[in-house]
A and B are shown apart, each in its own frame.
Chain A
Amino acid sequence: EAGVTQFPSHSVIEKGQTVTLRCDPISGHDNLYWYRRVMGKEIKFLLHFVKESKQDESGMPNNRFLAERTGGTYSTLKVQPAELEDSGVYFCASSGEASGRLLTGELFFGEGSRLTVL
């Protein structure tokens, strides 16, 4: 069974340009998460999809970030226009856990997309 895949693995762009990151979750997983790790700091939550709906987007830094999940399958995270502080590793994770108050099960993570903004 394929795991969570992310593309590209590394992207280098200039300030002001646009980048789109893609995540393919494990097949059948309704929950999809985006996280970001900046400069060796903690991994921070960005948002959570349940199927195609945004369940929680409280971690999105600002309106330069746009996440979509077409048809409840793969997801994209677009940064437009990119700023220097957007550099970091963007992780996608998926889970097949049913809804509930707490996350009790395992999140399956992709290898991450490293974004460098010059």
Chain B
Amino acid sequence: AQSVTQLGSHVSVSEGALVLLRCNYSSSVPPYLFWYVQYPNQGLQLLLKYTSAATLVKGINGFEAEFKKSETSFHLTKPSAHMSDAAEYFCALSGSARQLTFGSGTQLTVLP
């Protein structure tokens, strides 16, 4: 069985502040991990992915995530939030099947 837990369904940060969105996973096999973003009225878009190469993964729009096996975590960070980062973010894993298991999502609000 596999699962993804996103801590915090809503996160608010000030513009220019650090963004930290938390994701923990459970998988019986070494997983591949993904972060997707959904802007209003759009489909999900891939931000970045970890597929067993470098543990620190850089994605689009200045986001990055670090795979920590010992902590079963894959937290998403961005040093400085921008108003355009306001969206819903989903952590997902690919484990024992050719499909994605998603977390429940984190709505990011960026305050001016």
Could you tell me which A residues sit within 8 Å of B by CB distance?
Answer: 3-4, 31, 33, 35, 40-45, 48, 55-56, 59, 91, 93, 99-104, 106-112
A108 shortest CB reach to chain B, Å: 8
Verify A42–B100 contact, CB threshold 8 A: no
Verify B99–A33 contact, CB threshold 8 A: yes
Verify B104–A42 contact, CB threshold 8 A: yes
Closest 8 CB pairs of A and B: A109-B43, A103-B94, A109-B44, A43-B102, A42-B104, A106-B46, A45-B99, A111-B43
How many residue pairs between the two chains, A and B, have CB atoms under 8 Å in the bound complex? 66
Given A3-B43, A91-B43, A111-B43, the answer on whether A102 and B102 have CB atoms closer than 8 Å is no
Distance in angstroms between the alpha carbons of A93 and B101 in the assembled complex: 14
Smallest CB gap from B99: residue in A: A45
A-B contact pairs, 13 of them (CB 8 A): A3-B43, A41-B104, A42-B4, A42-B102, A42-B105, A43-B102, A45-B101, A93-B44, A104-B49, A104-B94, A107-B44, A111-B41, A111-B43
Verify A104–B44 contact, CB threshold 8 A: no
Distance in angstroms between the alpha carbons of A59 and B99 in the assembled complex: 10
Verify B100–A100 contact, CB threshold 8 A: no
Verify B98–A42 contact, CB threshold 8 A: no
Distance in angstroms between the alpha carbons of A61 and B49 in the assembled complex: 29
Distance in angstroms between the alpha carbons of A110 and B42 in the assembled complex: 8
Instruction: Give the chain B neighbours of A41 by CB distance below 8 A.
Output: 104
Distance in angstroms between the alpha carbons of A3 and B103 in the assembled complex: 24
Produce 1/0 per residue, B32-50, CB < 8 A to A.
1000100001111110010
A43 shortest CB reach to chain B, Å: 4
Verify B98–A40 contact, CB threshold 8 A: no
